[in-house]
Structure 1
């Protein structure tokens, strides 16, 4: 790979980073929203460096051509400008973004991963339903619901109508199905699953998105020993995939 090709690869890499952050929200399939400014900055830097590399090498080649005497042997002269052939592997991320465009993690990950562990900073229950009109369901993130369920030793949350949104995941053990959301700290590689087990509603298509309203079926015994909390649906509505597939 010569210097001009190296510059073009950098331009393509920068363009790929900018295309998934500036013109779309595809980057949310891989990293948290907070990384957007850094991805944009990296894309701009790569494009600028790539263009500069191409321009400098073209000028150098033009200068060498102007100074080259007649009859000069063209069999050598620019071998130093070449990089290792493995450099072409840098094109793989470009192909992945523009051709393959891997989707966000979904039902397969949620069905094979262990549920999220209990967080030390799980939200207190005192503010549950604050500001919600009487008779209205409490809108909760899946992560918040699961964390509260693991800390609600008095089963207070079982008295509340709750609304959750997530995607459908088959239960490998065959009993009911899961409504799940994935949670990531940095990127898709560290994603963990938050999910509830639903047994009173027919299983919808895998990876389809739903908003459900119902109640937590409080378990008996040690609540923190529960692997999957059960949720009884009263209403279910299909929804389009949210802009950010992760919580």
Structure 2
């Protein structure tokens, strides 16, 4: 591969990293704290590419060095084929695959968040008719809080719909570092007409926990009674941490 092509690919890869870091698309792949690293990596790639291009342009203006450059490129052409692999992450970024959804939840159906080393001491929930909570916080409280603070409380959860067999779930994917280590946190929905909800549709659901349903046998997936459900747009950051 010629040096010009290598430099162009480096510009594209660095530009792709900058693009997703600045427009927020990077949240489909990594945690928010990684944004600065993506910007730095993309900027370094672009700078290196432009330095290399500038050097080649200056060198090309010197006739006595053109032959040496050509000989160098011909001599190492066989070893540079792997450089074409740089196009793969560029294509992946520009094609912008959607965030993980129902398929990832069902494929990881046997995996649950690890239990705590000791019982959590959960603070009382704030006052109010409806309380907003993350799905992860709700699942942890349902599993490990022995004080029953979720009992008889209306909780609003935001997540996407996932169907498995004859059951319907509201789910989120939690990540530790990036989408590669994502695992599902979910609640089983109980109510009328849930089978008509479209898979991967994002919703806000007001639910009530059914005490005693988050057990080892259920893999700590609590069952909730749905009192209201409304479709919402996918949030900019689809994951929980």
Instruction: Classify 1:242/1:139 alpha carbon distance in 2 versus 1 (closer, same or farther; 3 Å).
Output: same
Q: What TM-score results when the alignment is normalised by the length of structure 2?
A: 0.88
Give matches, 1:182-201, under 5 Å. Answer: 182-201=173-192
Query: Shift of residue 67 of structure 1?
Result: 6.3
Instruction: Classify 1:193/1:226 alpha carbon distance in 2 versus 1 (closer, same or farther; 3 Å).
Output: same
Q: Does residue 180 of structure 1 match 2:171?
A: yes
Which residue of structure 2 lines up, in the alignment, with residue 35 of structure 1?
34
Which residue of structure 1 lines up, in the alignment, with residue 97 of structure 2?
102
Instruction: State the superposition RMSD in angstroms.
Output: 2.4
Q: What TM-score results when the alignment is normalised by the length of structure 1?
A: 0.86
Query: Shift of residue 80 of structure 1?
Result: 4.8
Aligned residues: 234
Which residue of structure 2 lines up, in the alignment, with residue 170 of structure 1?
163
Distance in 2, Cα, partners of 1:58 & 1:123: 64
Give matches, 1:73-222, under 5 Å. Answer: 76=71, 78-80=73-75, 82=77, 83-98=79-94, 100-113=95-108, 114-120=111-117, 124-125=121-122, 127-130=123-126, 132-133=127-128, 136-171=129-164, 173-174=165-166, 176-201=167-192, 202-203=194-195, 204-219=197-212
Gaps of 5+ in 1: none
Equivalent position SS for 1:20? helix
**Pair member with larger Rg:** 1
Whether the 8 Å CA contact 1:151–1:224 is kept in 2: the answer is no
Equivalent position SS for 1:219? coil
Query: Shift of residue 78 of structure 1?
Result: 4.2
Whether the 8 Å CA contact 2:124–2:149 is kept in 1: the answer is no
Distance in 1, Cα, partners of 2:200 & 2:172: 10
